[in-house]
Structure 1
Amino acid sequence: MLKTLLAIIGMTILPVCAQDWPDPDWLIDATVSDWQAVDSYAFAQRNPGDRSGIRTDALLIIRDGRIIHERYSTPTTAKTAHLTWSVSKSVLATVLGVVQGEGRFQLQDPVSRYYAPMQAHPEVRMADLLHWASGLQWQEDYEYAPLKSSVVAMLYTRGRNDMAAYAAARSAVDKPGQRFLYSSGDSNLLAAALRGMLDAGAYADYPWQALFAPLGIDSAVWERDGAGSLVGSSYLYLSARDLARIGLLMQREGRWKLRQLLPASWIAFNRTLFTPAQALPGEANPGGHWWLNQPLAGQARPWPDVPPDTYAALGHWGQALYIVPTHKLVIVRYGDDRDGSYSHNELLKRVLAALPGEGT
């Protein structure tokens, strides 16, 4: 009877596994007690008036479903819904994974099927947007070229009332799918396309109904633009503990307790390297709207001291959600970095070194 009921409501039933889940909150494992090398790097003493150096607001480390280390810098606390910046993009991709599992779209579908302004670019597919490879002209700089910046114009000036429409109006400079060009515009086109996949009136609550509520997330705030579309590129706020729930979902291959919330094929897409790309110094290489510790041809791994299966959601000023499947690790790091001195590799290397018997 239970299996029949679950089948009716679309829930895949899985074998019961002896695993820890945050239900309702995370369990604590204090086995590892020496975090001095990690904290001395992440939480170096800082002058409130000095914006240089490594400025960590939150560090949360989960191993196999339990918190093993947690620390915050005032005023951030465990309950603070912190701005995630471009970590929002990977969370948007996770929402789209639920949609794809419901059979509402396929990766090869033209974006114009779901968002009419993209009829000006009929060859752009959903997969192209998820690879940041729409072929549309874009300039992502913030501080260093604000007068030429597409993202500044989209978020703050002439594009702010309808961000997806602003992105769709860019001219095509490459054939879709042929070149990686990091673009918050591509992500906001995905957020607008999401509306076209859903029943009328379902859009506003969909991320909560489809993803946040099943995971027990209650801190989420997601801003919208003047057209009512989610700012999928940038403006999701989550507490560190709630963002870690998304990390645990990914680390456990899209499964949450007894439910396969994301298709295994979607996780595989997220974690597949997009090869028509260029390396981003100090960062990682693109997958399906996630960032991978996999090398491009002829290049080294972006994070050489970290397992190659590591992947992440990354955001402006040092926001990060890392998943290290080899070690069943989920790590959330929120920051306020302004000068580029923070190193993903260095933090992750120190975390692994603090765990007895672990390593790359």
Structure 2
Amino acid sequence: MNTASRRTFLKNLGAMCAANSLTLLATPTQAAVPAATDWQTITPEAAGFKPGLVGRFDKLEASGRLAGVHGVVALRSGRIVFERYFKGDDASRRGPLGEVEFGPDTLRDIRSVTKSIVGLLYGIALARGQVPAVEQSLLAQFPEYPDLAADPQRARLTIRDALSMTLGMQWNEKLPYTDPANGETAMDAAADRYRYVLSRPVVGDPGKGWIYSGGNVALVAKIIEKGTGRNLPDFAREVLFAPLGIGSTEWAKGADGEVYAASGLRLTPRELARIGQMVLADGQWNGKTVVPAGWLHESFRPAALVDIGYPGLHYGYLWYVGEALQEGKGGSYGERFVAAIGNGGQRLFVFPGLDFVLCVTSGNYNSPDQWRAPSAILSEIFLPSLAS
């Protein structure tokens, strides 16, 4: 694959995908992972990368193509093979934060990567019997809106449709988030965000077309809160963050006191990479199940084709699923990955077949070129450096 091809690889969602239909991800047995408070490091070469990876990264940085990147953490076999932090302007959901000197302990917005975390939380709550099965009626979980449940079109909606963003309801997040007509912005400003989401005009059959919507995630999160009797940040702390040894976190809330379930979480890059390592290890951390493997497999089964002009990219349950073009095995082939992606250049890539996790955090919020830096890091530095 030539340089030009690699530079277009993973555009927008970070992925140039193979066109064939995807199958369920199979996760190989992973090496023992160190405790969260005792990350071990290993050189890229010792981890199986081709020589010179650090030098190639430095050259890419010197070229100016990594402008806005705040942090990069790469893992192989559960150990840190590369870690780099930068200084740069940042912002949270609440507003600008000015120039920040980023480091391993610096919290930062992961924006819509938050959605994928909510997906994991639903699976944990489901295994505990605290939330309904995904095929259950969505409106049945919101009995406070009997008028909406009486609509035959909305009565067909299921929780699965919300998890896969296939509700078939009008929503537009292609507009800038500063535009009051943006779907998520309008939801945050509504007197009742859940009624706002559930009352959107029906524009398609549920379970069919994919429409990106933070409103879907707000509904999923509220079902978790109703079922567990806990607010989302507290539940996440108990069942996900604490078991992984993740320290301080922040989860922003709206003026109505409701958590920004779709985009409000703040973590460090190391903590986000830790979540990726747990996913790669089939939901295990230090020999204990954090997220049931069955839920991960179901979440990573393609449920909807993501129609953004790139063949083969799918969406599962709040996770993207694709195949990255890779050299080896006698030619080019598709290497399966799952990904969590957020505004500004936030990326979490998990490659089960390569035993590889990559986390990139950036501050290029709302920029049309926000995809370029994380794309270059993955497709020009790490993937071509992995020995086949």
TM range (shorter): 0.7 to 0.9
Q: Which residue of 1 aligns with 2:355?
A: 328
Aligned mates of 2:224, 2:360 — CA distance in 1: 28
Task: List gaps (5 residues or longer) in structure 1.
Answer: 1-15, 47-51, 295-302
In structure 2, C-alpha distance between the alignment counterparts of 1:293 and 1:208, rounded to whole Å: 29
Deviates more, 1:221-230 or 1:169-178: 221-230
Match of 1:82 in 2: 108
- Go from structure 1 to structure 2 and tell me whether the alpha carbon gap of 1:118 and 1:124 turns closer, same or farther (over 3 Å shift): farther
**Aligned counterpart in structure 2 of residue 229 of structure 1, from 249, 253, 258:** 258
- Indicate the residue corresponding to 2:235 in structure 1: 206
Q: What corresponds to 1:316 in structure 2?
A: 343
Q: Which has the higher strand share?
A: 2
1:249 offset after TM fit, Å? Answer: 1.0
Task: Name the residue aligned to 1:37.
Answer: 56
Question: Which residue matches 1:286?
Answer: 315
Is 1:240 aligned to 2:269, yes or no? yes
For the 8 Å contact 1:154–1:163, the answer to whether it is kept is yes
TM-score (norm 2): 0.76
Q: Within 2, Cα distance between the matches of 1:21 and 1:283?
A: 35
Q: Secondary structure at the match of 2:246?
A: coil
Partners of 1:353 and 1:144 in 2: how far apart? Answer: 35
Distance 1:277 1:249, change over 3 A: same
Which residue is 1:56 aligned to? Answer: 69
Counterpart position of 1:272 = 301
Cα distance, 1:165 vs structure 2: 3.2
Secondary structure of the equivalent of 1:35?
Answer: helix
Aligned-partner Cα distance in 2 for 1:224–1:232? 8
Q: How far 1:31 sits from its partner (Å)?
A: 4.7
**Are 2:345 and 2:362, in contact at CA under 8 Å, matched by a contact in 1?**
yes
Letter in 2 for 1:166: Y
Shift of 1:152: 2.4
Task: Tell me by how many angstroms 1:135 deviates.
Answer: 1.5
CA contact (8 A) 1:111 1:125 kept: yes
Residue 169 of structure 2 corresponds to residue 136 of structure 1: yes
Identity across the alignment (%)? 24
In 2, the alpha carbon distance for the partners of 1:282 and 1:342 equals 19
The Cα offsets for residues 281-307 of structure 1, whole Å up to 9 and x where unpaired, read as: 59943121101114xxxxxxxx43484
Within the candidate set 171, 194, 197, 1:167 is matched to 197
User: Would the aligned equivalents of 1:142 and 1:152 in 2 still touch at CA under 8 Å?
Assistant: no
Partner of 2:156: 123
Identify which of 120, 123, 127 aligns with 1:97.
Answer: 123
Whole-Å separation in 2 of the counterparts to 1:282 and 1:72: 33
Structure 2: which amino acid aligns with 1:220? T
Distance 1:17 1:148, change over 3 A: closer
1:63 and 1:266, CA in 2 relative to 1: closer, same or farther beyond 3 A? same
Deviation at 1:149, TM superposition (A): 1.8
Deviations 1:317-343 (A, max 9, x none): 110001011111111100123232516
- Cα pair distance change 1:245/1:117, threshold 3 Å: farther
Which amino acid letter does the alignment assign opposite residue 79 of structure 2? R
Instruction: Report the number of matched residues.
Output: 324
